[in-house]
Amino acid sequence: MIKFRRILLKLSGESLMGEQQFGIDPAMLKYYADQIRSIAREGVEVAIVIGGGNIFRGLGSDSGIERVQGDYMGMMATCINGMALQSALESQGLYTRMISAIEMRQIAEPYIRRRAIRHLEKKRILIFTAGTGNPYFTTDSAAALRASEINADVILKGTRVDGIYDKDPEKFPDAVRYETVSFDEAIRMNLKVMDMTAFTICRENHIPIIVFDINKDQNLFRIVEGEKIGTTVI
């Protein structure tokens, strides 16, 4: 029994690195394509927002690159990752559409809300790239915005840890995992799992966020079936 019929999956660019220090690990691409296929064949409508941190992350003020220019460079990195993921998904026999917030007609469709929703209704997997198309906004904010626009049931944020903790579980063995956190609590505690703009957009549009360990096989499938996994922000 499927609980979520339309989801937005948020993946970081770093998730594509695998054990590498940068770039794209083909094994990780195949792994994510397998996970996404497992829910798509159950009829789940899937949209994806992917980051670009494995290729480019914003530079400091000493880099000589101004903030706005650096943000646009990061948007281009998400397009590279989107193209790689698109190829991996299509090699699994899935139908996809890559949509860019910055016009680049040769490789991606422009974002048109009604067209995007129609693609989902036809069970095509959407890959949203280039963030919101604006500097100063993260891909977390882009995920919250697109999820609101396409009327997604939930945002599933795949990470390398199994939820939200009161402190970094990789540094503190006694860290306690939350099963449920309200948006107000997430904002008040300044939880770093997503930025405050993303939390605010989701709160105002009543879209829950589930933070989970995507590197554990079948977690994505188990969540869309309604199993309690990770931490829910609601």
**pLDDT tens, residue by residue, 7-52:** 999 999 999 998 888 899 999 999 999 999 999 999 999 999 999 9
What is the spatial distance between Cα 38 and Cα 206, in angstroms, rounded to a whole number? Answer: 27
* pLDDT tens digits along 161-179: 899 998 888 889 899 999 9
pLDDT computed for residue 62 by the predictor: 64
Contacts of 66 (CB under 8 A, 6+ apart): none
User: Which is nearest to 98 in space by CA: 114, 110, 88, 115?
Assistant: 110
**Residue 191, pLDDT score:** 87
| pLDDT of 169 | 85
Q: Which long-range contacts (CB under 8 A, 24 or more apart) does 184-192 make?
A: 186/233, 191/164
Tokens of 62: 């000493």
> Into which CATH architecture does domain 6-233 fall?
3-Layer(aba) Sandwich (3.40)
Return phi, psi of residue 50, to 5°. -120, 140
Two tokens, residue 71: 């943000």
Hey, where are the domains in the chain?
6-233
Specify the range with the lowest mean pLDDT, choosing from 38-52, 96-110, 180-194: 180-194
